[in-house]
Amino acid sequence: MAASFKLAVAVTWALVLATTACQGLEVGYYKKTCPRVEHIVRDEVKKFVYKNAGIGAGLIRMLFHDCFVQGCDGSVLLDPTQANPQPEKLSAPNFPSLRGFEVIDAAKDAVEKACPGVVSCADIVAFAARDAAYFLSRFNVKIDMPAGRLDGRVSNASEALDNLPPPVFNVTDLITSFAAKGLGVEDMVVLSGAHTVGRSHCSSFVSDRLAVPSDINAGFANFLRRRCPANPAPANDPTVNQDIVTPNALDNQYYKNVRAHKVLFTSDAALLTTPATAKMVGDNAKIPGWWEGKFKKAFVKMSQIEVKTSNQGEIRKYCRAVNTK
């Protein structure tokens, strides 16, 4: 009963959030005030991603980690200060693994030269994630990203721990976590497909996937054991590709890996544990273009979580710090 009540509350909040998520956002939001902003951001993203595909994966992950904590407001970008020594970026889910901050800095600098004081850092994060998906998908995932977000002034490491679903979550936990942000079961399954790019530290999966019995493919488990220490520590915590087949391509290979039990996290394997989510995995794996189309919609939906209104946010001059009066 307690679990059912928790899920019911989460779904109720999801309906509330869904009615307010799109407030003030529109495609082409800056067409009059900063008409070249999306081209400027894309050019900066392209420079970094073509040098290192992992940065692209980091930018996609950055939007997810930003939006699930305080909404899509650039709060994940804020550096520690004397007044706030533990912002989101220093929380365990983000530090030291979250990447791409230098891309946002470069894009913000270029945008400020063209249109000072007009474009929020939160919108730059959304544009950069969108562009990373475009390049990593070999131009197959082309997203019309609405804009008009404002930058938040609050960033707290403990909120990241409270809101970001960890890799040990089961399917019920995942559904509840995503529902609390206005995202449905299919959104959760589709957005999980972003695990087709990027790398993970061994410490994120060794203890619950390799050290105890699990559904993981035996050959894949042995492959991981050769690359990961039995007891990863900060000084000895290597990374491995989340998708060993097409590690730098944003494609549907992730779902083929899920079906083959060749995924890193408990939360990935959990997608096979209910008939509904298992069917979604199968459709995404087997039907050409199916996942890409659904990813575009889910990605935009995620980018609209808890957008700040004018009295809650600002347009930062510098993405790593709130404006000073």
pLDDT tens-digit readout, 298-322: 999 999 999 998 888 999 999 999 9
pLDDT, residue 16, reads 39
What span, in angstroms and rounded, lies between the C-alpha atoms of 161 and 237? Answer: 21
One domain, residues 32 and 155: yes
The label of the residue with tokens 């089961």 reads: 170
Nearest CA-CA partner of 205 in 97, 71, 69: 97
pLDDT, residue 8, reads 42
One domain, residues 205 and 81: no
What are the tokens at 211?
Answer: 């050290």
Annotation marks residue 195 as catalytic: no
Which region, left, alpha or beta, applies to residue 173 given φ > 0 means left and ψ of -120 to 50 means alpha? alpha
One domain, residues 205 and 159: no
Residue 223 counted as domain residue: yes
CATH number, residue 251: 1.10.420.10
One domain, residues 152 and 212: no
What span, in angstroms and rounded, lies between the C-alpha atoms of 163 and 102? Answer: 24
Q: Is the peptide bond preceding residue 238 cis, with omega within 30 degrees of 0?
A: no
Residue 152 counted as domain residue: yes
pLDDT, residue 309, reads 85
Residue 316 counted as domain residue: no
Is the CB of residue 275 less than 8 Å from the CB of residue 284? no
Q: How many residues does the chain have?
A: 325
The residues, ordered by sequence, that sit 6+ positions from 283 with a Cβ below 8 Å of its Cβ are 290
One domain, residues 145 and 182: no
Residue type, 32: K
Residue 312 counted as domain residue: no
What span, in angstroms and rounded, lies between the C-alpha atoms of 7 and 2? Answer: 9
One domain, residues 64 and 180: no
What are the tokens at 165?
Answer: 């679903």
pLDDT, residue 104, reads 98
One domain, residues 186 and 117: no
One domain, residues 41 and 161: yes
pLDDT, residue 14, reads 42
One domain, residues 105 and 188: no
Give 96's Cβ-side CA count (13 Å radius): 6
How many domains, the chain?
Answer: 2
pLDDT, residue 23, reads 56
Nearest CA-CA partner of 121 in 131, 111, 113: 111
Q: 165, 197, 221: which is the final residue of a domain?
A: 165
pLDDT averaged per 10 residues in sequence order, the chain, 325 residues: 42 40 80 98 98 98 98 98 97 95 98 98 98 98 98 97 97 98 98 98 96 94 97 96 97 98 98 98 97 98 94 96 92
One domain, residues 122 and 251: no
**What does pTM read for this prediction?**
0.92
Is the CB of residue 246 less than 8 Å from the CB of residue 195? no
Q: Residue 135's domain spans which residues? A: 20-165
One domain, residues 101 and 216: no
Residue 233 counted as domain residue: yes
What are the tokens at 159?
Answer: 């909120």
Q: Torsion angle, CA of 60/64/69/71, rounded to 10 degrees?
A: 90
Between the alpha carbon of residue 83 and those of residues 95, 132, 160, 161, the distances in Å are 20, 33, 18, 20
One domain, residues 98 and 205: no
Q: Which of 39, 65, 195, 261 is catalytic?
A: 65
